[in-house]
Amino acid sequence: MGEIISTREAYGRALCECGENPDIVAFDADLTICTMSCYFAEKYPERFRNAGIAEANMIGMSAGVAATGKTVFCHTFAMFAAGRGYDQIRNSVAYPRLNVKVVGTHAGLSVGEDGATHQCIEDLSLMRTIPGMVVINPCDANETEAAVKAMIEYEGPCYLRLGRSGVENVTPNFKNYDFQIGKGVTLKEGNDVTIIATGLMVQIALEAAELLKGDGIVARVIDMHTIKPIDRDIIVKAAKETGAIVTTEEHNVIGGLGAAVAEVLGETYPVPLIRHGVEDIFGHSGTAQALMEKYGLNKNKLAEKVKLAVSMKR
């Protein structure tokens, strides 16, 4: 078992570590302890500002500082970033292509007890439709750290989706793992079907693949940490070699990873595709684990979807 740590915690540590770069500036919307920007704020107070509960203002301030040549990270919950900040992200950050990294934490159903108003299941869809926006959804601590470093090197707007709950740090277990923006990673080989996962569903996809062995199904597992630009090559290769694909995400099945993969397949190499995720419904208040079970975001439900995809292929 790998270390259990939330991607937001790993992010906070990584940003602080990279904070020695004097060109990095950070903003937060009065959620420093939740978003873990507190690490950066404590070590580099001269390059940190709390904008208060004013997300739109924070995005505007970030854009202004980025226009001076700085690399700006701004933080709030995913619901407030993608929702309240959408207009400013689109027009003040993406349109002039400024070097602002929008960090949305507490995404998805795993926010838990805060309920539907805070369980953002639309952010991947909203952010990936903005022209020129890079969208990243890391699955664990190791991948999050790599994503932070890659975003600093990348010149342009990015959206980083992070979770509240602790997740197993799995990517260090794979010797050939290499993080690159826009490049998926094959974690497990297989020729019967492909599972393309993002975020915390990567760990569940690996569990489902083990479960499927009992039914004689050898599933390929791809970690699609970058939703945009999507890795078209790895998707087409998987379609040609396995003949069926299942996507899995802690997000609405409409507009997110599943939609992005469907677009690629429709334009290149159509094969049976099943989308696994939140079935276009709002969440409820409850523990993260209870909600993941209630909405079928578990290895058993995913395995069922995979079996259906295999049957469609045959």
- Catalytic residue numbers read 55
The whole-angstrom separation of Cα 73 and Cα 25 is 6
Q: What b/e string do you get for 73-92 counting C-beta neighbours within 10 Å, with b at 16 or more?
A: bbbbbbbbbbbbbbebbbeb
The helix/strand/coil state of 197 is strand
Closest CA to 277 of 123, 173, 77, 71: 123
Q: Smallest Cα–Cα separation from 169: which of 148, 145, 151?
A: 145
Residue 107 DSSP one-character state = B
User: H-helix or E-strand containing 234?
Assistant: helix 232-242
Query: Backbone dihedral region of 288: left (phi > 0), alpha (psi from -120 to 50 degrees) or beta?
Result: alpha
Rounded CA gap, 122 and 63, in Å? 23
